[in-house]
Chain A
């Protein structure tokens, strides 16, 4: 009998504790029972053994607190003892000898000792790093010390109590020499501040602080125990004067419970972390008794930020979330790199010469010096009356520019002439050494002002664009430069008159002149079209323009013939629900198509593949309306669009655009260089945000008042790495120009603002791993399969499960977080490597298409929702699609070559919480669901369903909340043959569904058998050629083995419970995944993962503790390394993700 053993490999889960080691660059993070060590300055994680970056401190319990002793000497700041506590577990380890250098076996939990009660807090004795105090949940302080070295365990010296043994939710110590203050946050009765007796075992209650409502979730004092800060279920933060016991300030702001509080900056500021996913910085004004929220950082996703830490010397904060992310925060709020320039300020600094301003003259726009290379911070500021100021670096010198050009000269003489009416647009063409400022007037007049690297005027030329246009042209109200190469810039001019064409022309920035032969007049689409976004691709000559109502038009500039008039090649109107297209960006020209990024202001973003329709007859301006006809390849369309990627931002507000940045990551000993980060930016209510969409966190925000004002985001044009410090945000507010240099990574503090990327911040409800392994690099040194996780947070994460074939290191790297579901995920399955199916409440059933390196020469991963099943019942938010299964149908054109067979569609069976059972034929090519069977089971919820295929027959097995397993026959439609491949059963042949066919009923079940007392939570089917085994897992802690036997025709002859283990787990069994045809990985809520063997009954092979809570889902897969060794891997999901190796002995 082959027996497998489980070896834990990687743990992704909530951050439960954080601590900086003073006077060092180390940050310790508690991940459940594990710790990771980071150098916060470099952002690197310190390997703690050959194979692992983490080390296990406790066998099972989570680390809830980390305390650092004073160093033995100030010259050795790492020679400190570290106290870990969590649950009933306690451990004291030396950081240098035990953790940094002693953890090669990846297991320090041998040092773990047990307390008889839950430990709320701990601290070291003021003089002895071998003595500790522990505060228990019954408000008792235990005084203990290390016996011999750390391995000797902890000896109890005594205990203290203050005669108030309420249950505590929180607590802390402040040790001031030989005075030990205890702060106890109770469940029901406020806060007790007490002091340990020196001679007695009792403690003296100093204060009973009762100003909060509800349970106290945090209480901590400042260093000298003069002030305390606390929080409770009432969501307020209170500051207490510990001399008087008075509540001297209260701060409100958090929208949920607060889990972490700490004073910093000489007790003048407080950092807090909350369930509402924010970290807040509070200013405490002791004079006026005010606690004011100064800064809000939305650093995490899902729910809850459990842990926080403050580096008091460096003023760095760290936060750790339920999502596993660790964020670093610059707590120095004074050094914010902000500059505000007013019109008055400009005047005052103009070398003493006064400048007259009109009454309503305001700052209109700004041109910054090249942000690349030259470090030039000079600015040009243009007012609404077209005065141009040169502002030097540091904003200390201001000079009014005076061109010697008559157009400007004339107008500056009389203040009454409104320049703004003439020169309405200022464009900026940048180069490494120089730039051109282009002022455009509605009359078509343009001034090209050449500037040197310090923005000094070198040359001014003038041109009227309308001189080139023969036909009458009303006026120019929009001018849009498109720079593709250093030597040329395209200009696009827009008029408000729908009969006026767009003017498109190329400008030679070296010769400072328009290339008149390039002038093209672009007829507007035959639909209302106000330009809101644009880009031009030189490879195909496609000029893509976007407008309101998700309308987009494409001109083929390469098709220009003798005339210079061109009509649109194609226009799509309302091709998605939504409003304005806010950004169009050419991503890449592929061999036969163009990849284009589109941002919609209402929050949708997509990547489109635009390609020529080879069947078309090149008609003029085809207008395609509506979403359904988007990818039609009929003869009437010139172009076709395929959506490769579609998603929505996590927050509401306005999406303005996206920027790509690059970074790399490591799998074992190999670096992977393909990690692209998508940064999205836009406005939400009254602030501007920059959000890392790939890693899922808010990078930067600015309370600018909203999107209606002039704003500009300036960033380097070259490929950007994760270093975002060169970003700059300008906006005008209250006639003031605000310049924000984004100091995301303060140079002397830290190099990365996100130390760990993490995973879902809520429970993972299902996991699916794709079948085919692919190589990241050409030498197969790192291979991967796609891993999809569906969570309670309504999102699906599409990741790669990467395996280093050399050292077998395993890692999960997330690529996309899809947000189409609006309810918690129920079930998730890969159909093959290209299609993923998901189901949830509200009858949500989505088919996702994944393009993984399949788009020409573009190797990126794209995901979009290919199709959705329309809900059968309107408006029932509770109607859940509990589970589904599928059978692929391939056409038989390549019958002899099964590899080449192409997917035609699939049969789907779905079960619902209202007991409905439905079978659909899904036509993949025509995107159509055909209902084949419409029936119901009983009045109860069905939990799970599987197709079972044997010989030439199809059956369906369902498990419901009544504990019954029910088997139905499903007739095989004519023309289809069953085939069993490596990736399971499939149907091969031609299948045509007749549209008029009515949905059938299932008829009487073949078998009805009660197996469990209540809900069959999960099932796994194993085809053993003669018979089929169904392993069932129940809410009743039991595991069942049910065997179906068949005759030669595939007709079921019997169904028998072969084995039943009634105490297979101590709690609900939640998932069963196959390891082989007779071995199964089983998870249950008791946090134990087990391997069961089904040969001659149910036999437990291995059982191991899983470090993630609410263990609810799993999937298994097998990789093969270069030498042909099989590596079986299991992924287990709950509050986090746990990766296991399954060794076959």
Chain B
């Protein structure tokens, strides 16, 4: 979350800076919780693809710090491949969510107990090739889901970011095998112009007779092959004819966040709410891979050499 001209345009963005959230997406989890009471009775939580950590911040404030009943201390684990600055009450793991070691580390922290709630706000960099982006996002969800099936208690809740593009109904159908209740939720903090939404999967019902097991070098397809939720077109002896009637399901849609809360699509005049001061970002953005290319361009080193 940098310091940019976006300052002027998005109220949630400014509010996030003011309230000390690392990203505006914190409000999305808060609004999802408002609607679904996600944090109620939750003692063990995993935040996947957590960096820069705004969801972990929410979990820390809402679950760790509000733990007033004096019961055992709630455990929150945040996992990401990127490093993350520490958050009170949150154990951060810089690890790969598909790696078996990550699973055992989390279980160690939980004292061998399963998680009550697992969430993921992860999204890949968008290429612009819509089908590829949808595939990569689906893989991210499936990676989170395979860890979830190894870690979540029966009856537990899984929340993840989705993009409602083509074939999202296939994903709903797959999730329907693992959870009793699958809802597509759109918090008001998420822009209407964005395809972003969140799947709220409640009441985890493990598939009878299937013991999910994370293995090194196993694809998500292979992981779910034994469960009945794998795609119908399995790699068998024959590549099957393309089935246009794959199982599809439209999950019920729920808009969340109070109608009186801020509208992420609206343009607010700044004096209307907050003073017009430039706020420094809560955490500096990580350097992109193309940092060197940008520097070279700035120095004029990328210019084509003139005619010799």
Contacts and interface: CB of A to CB of B under 8 A. Distances in A.
A1066 B248 contact: yes
A153 B237 CA distance: 11
Interface stretch (B40-48, B71-79, B114-122, B263-271): B263-271
Contacts of B61: none
A858 interface: no
A153 B125 contact: no
B293 interface: yes
Interface in A896-924: 912-915
Contacts, number: 232
Contact of A1037 (B136, B253, B266): B253
B290 A235 contact: yes
A1014 B220 CA distance: 34
Interface string B233-253: 111111111111000101011
A33 B13 CA distance: 39
A1035 B241 contact: no
Contact of B242 (A89, A212, A704): A89
Interface in B47-91: 81
B168 interface: yes
Interface in A709-755: 733, 738
Interface string A232-255: 111110000000000000001111
Interface in A378-431: none
A738 B306 CA distance: 14
Interface stretch (A135-143, A361-369, A577-585, A644-652): A135-143
Nearest to A731: B307
* Of listed A58, A137, A235, residue having the most chain B CB within 10 A: A235
B295 to A, nearest CB: 10
Interface residues of B, number: 74
A275 B9 CA distance: 27
A1142 to B, nearest CB: 22
Interface in A146-168: 147, 153-156, 159, 161, 163-165, 167
Contacts of A915: 266
Interface string A967-996: 000000000000000000000000000000
A138 B304 contact: no
B135 A118 contact: yes
Interface residues of A, number: 105
A680 B304 CA distance: 22
Contacts of A113: 239-242
B236 to A, nearest CB: 7
A142 B235 contact: yes
B296 interface: yes
B297 interface: yes
B306 A304 contact: no
A1108 to B, nearest CB: 9
Interface stretch (B126-134, B147-155, B201-209): B126-134
Contacts of A1035: 186, 192, 255
Contacts of B304: 253, 293, 296, 703
Contacts of B184: 1037
A702 interface: yes
B165 interface: yes
Contacts of A115: 233, 235, 239
Residue of B136, B222, B240, B293 with most chain A CB atoms under a 10 A cut-off: B293
B8 A914 contact: no
Contact of A117 (B167, B219, B301): B219
Interface in B258-297: 259, 262-263, 265-269, 288-290, 292-293, 296-297
Contact of B168 (A164, A962, A1067): A1067
Contact of B307 (A60, A234, A704, A1036): A704
A303 B128 contact: yes
B28 to A, nearest CB: 13
Given A88-B233, A115-B235, A1038-B253, A913 B289 contact: no
Given A215-B125, A293-B304, A234 B290 contact: yes
Given A253-B302, A1014-B188, A114 B307 contact: no
Nearest to B6: A878
Contacts of A940: 263, 265-266
Given A255-B297, A705-B306, A1086 B164 contact: yes
A866 to B, nearest CB: 27
A26 to B, nearest CB: 25
A116 interface: yes
A229 to B, nearest CB: 17
A686 B306 contact: yes
A62 B127 CA distance: 15
Contacts of B240: 113-114, 153
Q: Is the interface of A mostly helix, strand, loop or mixed?
A: loop
Contact of A234 (B127, B167, B169, B289): B289
Interface string A1066-1103: 11100000000000000001110000000000000000
B248 A914 contact: no
Nearest to B292: A234
Contacts of A232: 289
Given A156-B237, A1066-B250, A1067-B165, A877 B289 contact: no
Contact of A963 (B164, B255, B265): B255
B231 interface: yes
Contacts of A76: none
Contacts of A64: 129, 132
A112 B241 CA distance: 6
A87 interface: yes
A2 interface: no
Given A233-B290, A703-B307, A913-B266, A1087 B165 contact: yes
A184 to B, nearest CB: 13
B174 interface: no
A1015 B253 contact: no
A1037 B168 CA distance: 12
A432 B305 CA distance: 40
B148 to A, nearest CB: 18
A212 B292 CA distance: 11
Contacts of A257: 127
A152 B6 CA distance: 56
Interface string B132-168: 1001100100000000000000000000000011111
A939 B268 contact: yes
A760 B242 CA distance: 31
B135 A1066 contact: no
Interface string A98-141: 00000000000100111111100000000000000000111010
A925 interface: no
Contacts of B9: 877-878
A6 interface: no
A154 to B, nearest CB: 4
Highest count of chain B CB atoms <10 Å: which of A109, A114, A733, A1013: A114
Contact of B5 (A214, A877, A1068): A877
B125 A59 contact: no
Contact of B296 (A154, A252, A873, A1014): A252
B242 A59 contact: yes
Instruction: Specify which of B136, B244, B290 lies most central, judged by the most chain A CB atoms within 10 Å of its CB.
Output: B290
A941 B265 contact: yes
Contact of B125 (A233, A254, A1067): A233
Contacts of A159: 235
Contacts of A1086: 164-169
A1015 B265 contact: yes
A1109 interface: yes
A1007 to B, nearest CB: 18
Given A59-B244, A153-B238, 19 more contacts: A113-B241, A114-B240, A116-B230, A138-B220, A156-B235, A163-B217, A215-B125, A234-B292, A236-B292, A293-B305, A703-B307, A873-B269, A878-B8, A939-B263, A943-B265, A961-B188, A1036-B255, A1068-B164, A1086-B167
List 3 A-B pairs, minimum CB-CB distance, nearest first: A214-B289, A138-B219, A1109-B130
6 contacts: A116-B230, A167-B136, A234-B292, A234-B293, A961-B265, A1037-B184
